[in-house]
Every structure is written in structure tokens, then in C-alpha cells.
Structure 1
Amino acid sequence: MTKRHVSLPAEAEEGLAAFLEQVDERLSGEEDTCEVVRDTLVDLFGDRDAYERWQAGGDVTPAERVRLQGYDPCNATLESEYYAEKDEEKFKRSKHLQWLWRQFDATPMADNIEFALRFRGMLAGHLFAEAGENLRLFKGISFTYGHNIEIGDNTVIHDDVHLDDRGKLTIGDRVSISDSAHIYSHDHDIVDQTAIENFHTIVEDDARVTFDSMIRAGVKVGENSVVGAKSVVQGDVPAHHVAVGSPARSVKVKPGWETVAEPVADKLENRAAERRVEFELPDDLDDFDEFDRDLTPPDVEAPEAED
């Protein structure tokens, strides 16, 4: 093992523990989540005096007002808020917690590793569908909702990883996901990009997804396998295999695992259809194409417009 044990000075540890306990207790209680998030961000950004002055009716500039309002997630919108098929009840809370996660990463404290890992680990317990023990969640991790993510124990996710849980995303125990990897659980129709399908994407125990790679929706990355840097994985990676390239293919079995691994195949098998996540859209949905395009191919007669 090439890691060292690192700890904060006693006084810093005391302050960190008190802060984590306070936020954890408030998020676990009956308080409005918007208020908990707002208070936490106001204090983390050192804006308590300005916020109380504004609340007391004091003069603030338009820019100050926007900044102070922005600590409250009820005054914010996220891209995933526009997705028609989302679970509205779950999203009400996950939006607020996701806002806290993202804004925390914009504070100087996000670079204090011991502080930040423990804060995100605590927050993951409130946000994710399942959050295991001893998670190491680094800076800049983004996700669609958060509430469709399951992560096991002792997993590490490095900087700037995108975890798309528009469908469902399951990550096992002792998984390592390197910087800038993207793992998707939804896909767009090749003709009409506004038409989407959701899938269950799985990264099994002890797998490694390395730097800047992409896992397509509905893929399963098998137990103890490795996805090489900058690979694009469009089919299932068998357990104990090493997959590289774009599109990725298995190039070998990890040394020592040959007797229990499947033979190396020329092409990874895409089984996403078996992992489709069905959803229903609300009856009163305003169905529109935000791009206002004509999708009729040139050799097909366009349908007549309805009166």
C-alpha cells in the first residue's frame, strides 16, 4: 500500500466533527431542507452578516441580492429539473441536497481533503438511494438527480466524474472511478435527440474505470475488470477482463484470473435492452421540440399539418 494515514490537528478535528454533526442532524430532522441548505451555505461562504442585513430590510445591490438569494436552493434551477420523466416527489429533496453538494465544491473548504471527503460522505447518505461505508468522493462529481444512485462500501470516485442517474446507476464495493470518467444511464434516439430511453447501468465490485473513459447507458462493467483510459464502453465488460479502445474491446484477462474468466471475445456484447428502465410521462405534459426542427428525411414525404 502506497498511502499514508493523515489526520487533522485536534482543534480542527473538533470543529469539523461539530459541523458535520450539526448538518447531519438537521438534514435527518423535520426541518425544511431548503432552510438547512441555505443556512449551511451562508455560513460556509462567510456571508452571515450580509444575509442578516438583507433580511432585516437593509439596502443591498441587485448583485448582492442575487448572491444572497442563491444560497437557497428553492431559488435555483438545475438542468435535470426540466426532465419530464423524473420522479417529482424524490426530486423535491434531491434537488436541494444536490445544490448543497455543488455549492460546497465552490468553497475553499472543498480543497481540504479530510474535511471535504467526510462532508460529501455524510451528504451522500442523505442524497443517494444507497451510500456505503468509507466512501471517498472527490471534488467536482456531478449527477443527474442523485436519488437513483447506489454505491457500495470502500469505493473511490475521483475529480470531475459524471454519474448520470437519469435511469438507474449501481456501483459496487471497492470500485475505483478515475478523474473525468462519465458513466451514463440514459441515451438519445439517433434521429430525434429529444426522445430518450433510460437504463440500469452497473459497475460491479472491485472494478476500475480509469481516466476520461465513458460507459454507455445499460452497460455492465464486470467484477474485478478494468476499463482503460479514454475508452468508450458500448457493451458488457466480462469479469476480470481488461477492456480498452473506442469502441472498447477486451484485450486480455487480468493475470492470475484466467481460470475463472470468460474467454476474450472480439466484441463486447451489448445487453442494454435487458436493463431498460421504463417510465411514464404525465398526461398533461406540454410536448414540444425545443429545437423546432423538421425531422422528416429527404426521401420521405412530410406529413400534412393538422388543422
Structure 2
Amino acid sequence: MTKRHVTLPDEMEDSLEEFVAEVDQRLSNAGPDGSERTCEVVEEVLVDLHGDRDAYDRWQNGETVSPAETVRLQSYDPCNATLESEYYAEKDEEKFKRSKHLQWLWRQFDATPMADNVEFALRFRAMLADHLFAECGDNCRFFKGITFTYGHNITMGDNVVVHDDVHLDDRGELTVGDRVSISDSAHVYTHDHDVVDQTEVKNYRTVIADDARVTYDSMIRAGVRVGENAIVGAKSVVQRDVPDHHIAVGQPAKSVKIKPGWEDAAEPVDSDAETDKEGRRIEYEIPDELEVFDEFQRDLTPPGEE
């Protein structure tokens, strides 16, 4: 679909460029050897975006604030927040120290009115993606409500579009090629749970190749490759590879046809084609000294067995 260019008024454009450039520079300087810490940058940016500077300064100066204000003001600091992925035993602690802070900034930015100013928000999220992802290409567009497991295990190509309320699981590794489109409410996974013991997690590399389209409310299972120039139909559940140039639909998704004009470049439709999921398995080790727990405490012994 052809799009038209949209511009902001000059005054807003200048303010936007100045703000995004300032946050970008501060995040670039943050780190072990930098002049600032990532959590401090995130905290101050969120205080200002939420219009809470006066209350924050009163609190910092030791003046009286209510318990509710205290909790709100403390919550701008990502060190005072917990994310679901924080509980995962196999996560890379060093990478997570920074990606947690950046992910908190991304999520809390989406809770501000500015997140609905599309031209503003797209540029702000693209700037954050450059710091959060393992790699992010040029001219990517990230809409509202996108969530990640960590963020640091995601690699994005150029000209990628990710629409509203998409979940990109990168408990394993997620690679998204150039010019990929992921539509609203899609879920892309890189980990699976054992069917008997759901505390046993296997991580995989999941790939969405160049020019692929993952359409509305579809799900891509861990370890799957969606092929180059392929389409995943709305509400489909992809459990095996989708070949290049194929259209896959259904639950579970199966290839139903080749995109018109691409017949000579594509393999024939084969609904029984094998997927090299185990070849994309990512092994990990949990440190012996780490204290872990089973949140379910279920009896996994089948009936009749001791």
C-alpha cells in the first residue's frame, strides 16, 4: 500500500530532534566506563516525560511526600522494578543489567501521551532499539505496545515494521530480516516448555527471513524459520518451517500455495516438509550456585508408576 509522508510542525520537529538526540547521547555515554549510569538516565527521562519533575525534586530534597507519591517516584528507577524475565534462571546476567533498564524505558514511554504521537514515538523507539537490541537496522518502525523477553537477543534488519501489541520473545535468539512486516497482536517465540515438566525450558533460534509477512494475531513457534518473501496468514499457528515464497495458513499452519509469480523460485508445496528445529536448539547451563525453585511443585509421576 502506498503511504504518504507526514510531517510535524517545525517547532515540534525541532523539539523532537533535540530530545531524541539528547537521550541517545546520554544512553551512549552510559555504561561501566561512561559518565552516567543507564538506570539514572532512564529515571530522569521518565520523570520528565511523565511531568513529575516538581514532585521528584521535592522528594529528592527530603520534603514530605505521600506514600503513594513515594512509590510512584521510586518506580521511575528501573532498579526498583521487576520484570517477568528477571526470574528466568538461564538469562545472561551481564546483558540483562542494561537491557532491563532500556526495556523499562520503552514500556513506560508507551504509557505516556507521547506514545500516541506516531511520528514522535516511532523515532524514539527506533533510537531505543539501537541501544536495546543485539543489532537493529535502518528505518525500522516500532508501534505501540510491543513487548520483549530481554531485547538483547534480537537482531533486526533494515526497514522492518512491527505493529501494535506484538510480543517478540527472545529467551532464545530471534532474527528478523530486511523489510519484514509483523502485524498487530502477533506472537513470535524462541522457547518451548516440556509437555510433562513445564519447568524444563528449551531455547531455540527463530528466524523470519527477508521480505516475509507475519499477519494479524498469528503465532510463530520456537525454532521455526519463516522463509524469504513468505506470508503467514491471520490467526495462524506456525509449528514448522514456511518455505521461501509460500503462503501458510491455519492452525497448525500449512503451505497452501506459492505467491503468484514466484513459482519458478519456490519449492513445491509440501505439507509434510520437515523442520530442523533441533538444529536451532540453543544449549545453556545454569550455575550450580544459583538458587532455583519450582513454582508449581507438581507430582510428575504418571499413574501406576513408583
TM (norm. structure 2) is 0.97
Pick from 151, 157, 164 the counterpart of residue 152 of structure 1. Answer: 157
Select 2:77's aligned residue among 72, 80, 98: 72
- Is the aligned partner of 1:267 residue 2:269? no
* Structure 1 residue 269 displacement after superposition: 2.5
Q: Name the amino acid aligned to 1:179.
A: D
Deviations 1:110-149 (A, max 9, x none): 0000000000000000000000000000000000000000
1:174 aligns with 2:185: no
Spell out, residue by residue over 1:165-191, the C-alpha distance to the aligned partner (whole angstroms, 9 max, x if none): 000000000000000000000000000
- SS of match in other structure, 1:251: strand
Shift of 1:270: 2.5
Query: Which residue of the partner structure matches residue 82 of structure 1?
Result: 87
- TM superposition shift of 1:300: 1.1
Is 1:14 matched with 2:14? Answer: yes
Q: In the aligned structure 2, how far is the partner of 1:269 from the partner of 1:66?
A: 52
The corresponding residue for 1:97 is: 102
Contact 1:215/1:234 (<8 A) preserved = yes
What number of residue pairs does the alignment pair up?
301
Q: Deviations over 1:156-215 (max 9, x none)?
A: 000000000000000000000000000000000000111100000000000000000000
Q: Indicate if the aligned counterparts of 1:51 and 1:68 stay in contact, CA closer than 8 A.
A: yes
Alignment of 1:1-307 (within 5 A): 1-29=1-29, 30=34, 31-301=36-306
Question: Shift in Å at residue 13 of structure 1?
Answer: 0.2
Distance 1:266 1:127 in 2: 37
Q: Which moved more, 1:88-97 or 1:279-288?
A: 279-288
CA distance in structure 1 between the partners assigned to 2:108 and 2:124 by the alignment: 12
Q: Following the alignment from structure 1 to structure 2, what is the Cα–Cα distance between the partners of residues 287 and 36?
A: 32
Structure 1 ranges of 4+ moved more than 4 A:
none
1-structure distance, mates of 2:294, 2:251: 31
What's the CA shift string for 1:202-232, capped at 9, x where partnerless?
A: 0000000000000000000000000000000
In 1: Cα distance, 2:168 partner to 2:81 partner: 21
Q: In structure 2, how many angstroms separate the alpha carbons of the residues matched to 1:148 and 1:139? A: 20
Structure 1, unmatched stretches of 5+, are: 302-307
Question: For 2:292 and 2:94, how far apart are their aligned partners in 1?
Answer: 21
Q: Distance in 2 between matches of 1:181 and 1:274?
A: 25
Percent identical across equivalent pairs? 73
2:152 is matched by which residue type in structure 1?
A: H
C-alpha separation between the residues in 2 aligned to 1:110 and 1:268?
Answer: 42
Point out where structure 2 has 5 or more consecutive residues left out of the alignment.
Answer: none
How many angstroms apart in 2 are the aligned matches of 1:245 and 1:222?
17
TM superposition shift of 1:54: 0.6
Tell me if structure 2 keeps the 8 A contact 1:237–1:268.
Answer: no
TM-score by length of 1: 0.97
Query: In structure 1, what is the Cα distance between the partners aligned to 2:259 and 2:221?
Result: 23
Give the aligned residue type for 1:278: E
Letter in 2 for 1:27: L
